[in-house]
Amino acid sequence: MGSLHVGNVLRVACALLILVVLSGSASAQLSADGIAALRARGQSEGWTFTVGPNGATDRPLSELCGLVEPDNWKATARFDPCTPRRELPAIFDWRDYGCCPPVRNQRNCGSCWAFATAGALECNILIKDHIEADLSEQWLVSCNQDGWGCHGGWWAHDYHWWKADPCGGTGAVPETAFAYQAQDRPCDCPYEHEYLLDGWAYVGDGSSIPPDAAIKQAILDHGPVTVGVYVESSFQAYTGGIFNNDTDGAVNHGVVLIGWNDPEQYWVLRNSWGPNWGEGGYMRIRYGCARIGFAACYIDYSFFDCNLNQVPDACDLDCGPAGGPCDLPGCGGSADCAGDGIPDECEPDCNANGQADSCDVLYGDSPDCNTNGIPDECDLASCPPNKPACRDCNVNGVLDGCDLASQTSLDCNKNFVPDECDIAGGFSSDCQPNGIPDECDLFPPEDVPAADSCADAQLVCPNIVYYGSTAGATNDGSATCGNSGISPDVWYYYRCKNAGLLKVSLAGSEYDTVLSVHRGCPGTTANQAACNDNFFGLQSYVQLNVNPANEYWIRISGAAGASGTFRMSLTGPPCTYTGECNNNGVPDECEPDCNANGRPDDCDLAGGISPDCNANAIPDECDIGGGSSSDLNATGMPDECEGLGDLNCDGAADDLDISAFVLALIDPPGYESLFPACQRERADINGDGAVDGFDIQPFVMLLTWD
């Protein structure tokens, strides 16, 4: 009796130890002792499967299981009895048809519900489209609006069908758009949605676990189905065999059933714990065990059939092996010149040449100068008015944007329109004509080279970056800073339109620079206006107040003989280009220049170079030379400005002056008495210093001048 009592005590103690180990395994990873206890239990209970360390035993079940049954879920559920229509096969497995993508791994996140949801659709896509899709479970975890996440959730097929994420997006998202992170990450939508369900339904007549035959029919008709199962430590530690531990408990895990085996009475279960769990990520589980099949549901997914010929697009392209899934009537009847898996007849064909646009471009049948995948002729045909880059204003068969990119056409005014089109369309004038819009003739080019000598310096302007080098240059200037008196130097010229603060920077240059600005040429310490060495490390910077009355020469040199490549930028008042003296937007050479002195007439007048005594905006010499004014006394001043012939002083030389002229000619005292405010010298029309008969003919000419 004593030995029996001791044996009973030992058996009870052993059972308690196993219970302690197994109860702890629900919240912690399985230890070696826990696995040993499971093996002992399996041996005593006749398990037909093995347990051991695998890809899931190092995590607690709370991170592996996350299916949470909603309250009253049947109240709004759509059920389909899925009654078998014929004798079902005894053995079926979608893997035998190559229709199961690689097993996924949810890692340390209770997102089995999302993986079961996505898994069923991934298998359907492979079955019907022959495309191995990888869908984003993270989008379901992060973007559902039901509060589900790594702490658990329920079937999310509605989000692949009609239910929207926070951005209004519906349908499955590819893994590449939102990669799995095994965390409750924020939803940074919108995302691309590539696949959409036609619907889904629960299997059976309303019971929590439908009949086995209904599940099998659903698998045959609709592909792998999502189901719930009760998981505990023996399921977690499963390494192979037929799982038959029928421990009862609340369903807590979502998986996918892909097939069955009637002779051995098991389902083929696809898990989401990675390929290092079970039999390559799969389990054979006894019918009716661990509540397998709970809330089984299928999805409706239509294959891609872009040409509506009732043949999957993938099969349109290739019939595959005889007896295979694509060995269908009408298969292999489409080409795929682009190799993108889409039949050519479904691809865009904007030029209606019977070939996909992508192939027109790929084979060089149509140019695609802007590399947007659209033949240029279609870009031209569909170009909106507000998009100048896709026009062909010069009718050369090339998009304007490509003309500019290749510099076949220039765009000096940066308006995205070729210069020749600005001119031809009347948007810019070209008074010269030199093929350059006038507004561009008014400014120097952006690639102004640095001059080796001060005298050859060219004009530079603010808001342009200039590059050059002092290597190989001579020295013809000096400055008070940087010991640059022996260093090679180069020069630029600057003159401003209005007064202001000029800033010159050599930041970004590649050697120890010295920068100075001078008010004369050659630039010396005597006419230096500013100088700097080492403002930005070894780079230089100056700023100074400038005004239009002065000219400035910018000297770039190096410290103690240094030379190299430089980068110069200016900010400040706009430059005055010598081609436009009056700042009216018209090149000087296109303005009136009646005296042919190379300057517009209005600049001659404004600068005091030419007088305009009659205020008609024409230089006096041009009034005389052009015949609009007389200069009978050859003084260089229009006669109307001298009062010549206006003997009655009424402001005009006309017929009313005839009697006064005769009086001045024959009776000087009488004239002076009658016209005391006038000068008798106005009657000296020929300018010989005397009022006499020799002035009569010139006076007549003056009156009749037209």
Model pLDDT for residues 219-236, shown as the tens digit of each residue: 999 999 999 999 999 999
The answer to whether residue 686 is domain-embedded is: yes
82: annotated active-site residue: no
Q: Is the pLDDT of residue 200 over 60?
A: yes
The answer to whether residue 143 is domain-embedded is: yes
Kindly state whether residues 464 and 422 are assigned to the same domain. no
User: d(Cα 330, Cα 340) in Å, to the nearest integer?
Assistant: 20
pLDDT confidence of 325, banded at 50, 70, 90? low
Kindly state the average pLDDT of the residues 246-269. Answer: 97
Kindly state whether residues 486 and 423 are assigned to the same domain. no
Kindly state whether residues 375 and 410 are assigned to the same domain. no
Q: Please write the tens of the pLDDT for every residue from 56-113.
A: 999 999 999 999 999 999 999 999 999 998 899 999 999 999 999 999 999 999 999 9
Kindly state whether residues 463 and 437 are assigned to the same domain. no
The answer to whether residue 496 is domain-embedded is: yes
Q: Which residues contact 5 (CB under 8 A, 6 or more apart)?
A: none
Torsional sign, CA 395, 399, 402, 404: positive
Kindly state whether residues 412 and 549 are assigned to the same domain. no
One-letter amino acid for residue 577 of the chain: Y
Catalytic option among 105, 124, 244, 271: 271
Kindly state whether residues 480 and 403 are assigned to the same domain. no
Q: Is the pLDDT of residue 281 over 50?
A: yes
User: Which of 571, 586, 613 finishes a domain?
Assistant: 571
Q: Which of 230-244, 521-535, 538-552 has the highest mean pLDDT?
A: 230-244
pLDDT confidence of 426, banded at 50, 70, 90? confident
Q: What is the pLDDT of residue 120?
A: 98
**Which residue bears the tokens 């397998």?**
292
pLDDT confidence of 353, banded at 50, 70, 90? confident
475: annotated active-site residue: no
User: Which of 395, 420, 441 finishes a domain?
Assistant: 441
160: annotated active-site residue: no
- Three-state DSSP state, 621: helix
Kindly state whether residues 469 and 567 are assigned to the same domain. yes
Q: Is the pLDDT of residue 3 over 70?
A: no
Catalytic option among 100, 253, 521, 622: 253
Kindly state whether residues 82 and 187 are assigned to the same domain. yes
Kindly state whether residues 87 and 169 are assigned to the same domain. yes
Q: What is the pLDDT of residue 16?
A: 36
Q: How many CB atoms lie within 10 A of CB 197?
A: 21
Q: 11 versus 331: which is more confidently predicted?
A: 331
Catalytic option among 100, 109, 112, 143: 112
Q: 236 versus 596: which is more confidently predicted?
A: 236
pLDDT confidence of 26, banded at 50, 70, 90? very low
Q: Is the pLDDT of residue 18 over 50?
A: no
Kindly state whether residues 652 and 670 are assigned to the same domain. yes
CATH number at residue 73: 3.90.70.10
The answer to whether residue 216 is domain-embedded is: yes
User: d(Cα 130, Cα 61) in Å, to the nearest integer?
Assistant: 35
Least confident of 133-142, 204-213, 449-458, 578-587: 578-587
Determine the structural domain holding residue 424 and report its residue range: 383-441
Kindly state the average pLDDT of the residues 519-543. Answer: 93
Number of residues that make up the chain: 706
User: d(Cα 555, Cα 523) in Å, to the nearest integer?
Assistant: 8
Contact 606/672 with Cβ under 8 angstroms? no
Total of domains in the chain: 5
User: Which of 571, 602, 618 finishes a domain?
Assistant: 571
**Which residue bears the tokens 């919240």?**
27
- Three-state DSSP state, 49: strand
- Please list, residue by residue across 669-700, b when 16 or more beta carbons sit within 10 angstroms of its beta carbon and e when fewer do: eebeeebeebebebbbbbbeeebeeebeebbe
Q: Which of 4-8, 189-193, 386-390 has the highest mean pLDDT?
A: 189-193
The answer to whether residue 21 is domain-embedded is: no
User: pTM for the complete prediction?
Assistant: 0.49
The answer to whether residue 520 is domain-embedded is: yes
pLDDT confidence of 512, banded at 50, 70, 90? very high
The answer to whether residue 387 is domain-embedded is: yes
Kindly state whether residues 265 and 355 are assigned to the same domain. no
Alpha helices in 567-608 (DSSP H): 601-606
CATH number at residue 553: 2.60.120.380
- Three-state DSSP state, 531: strand
The answer to whether residue 22 is domain-embedded is: no
Q: Is the pLDDT of residue 122 over 70?
A: yes
One-letter amino acid for residue 17 of the chain: L
Q: CA 391, 395, 397: angle at the middle one, nearest 5? A: 80
Kindly state the average pLDDT of the residues 19-33. Answer: 58
Kindly state whether residues 283 and 172 are assigned to the same domain. yes
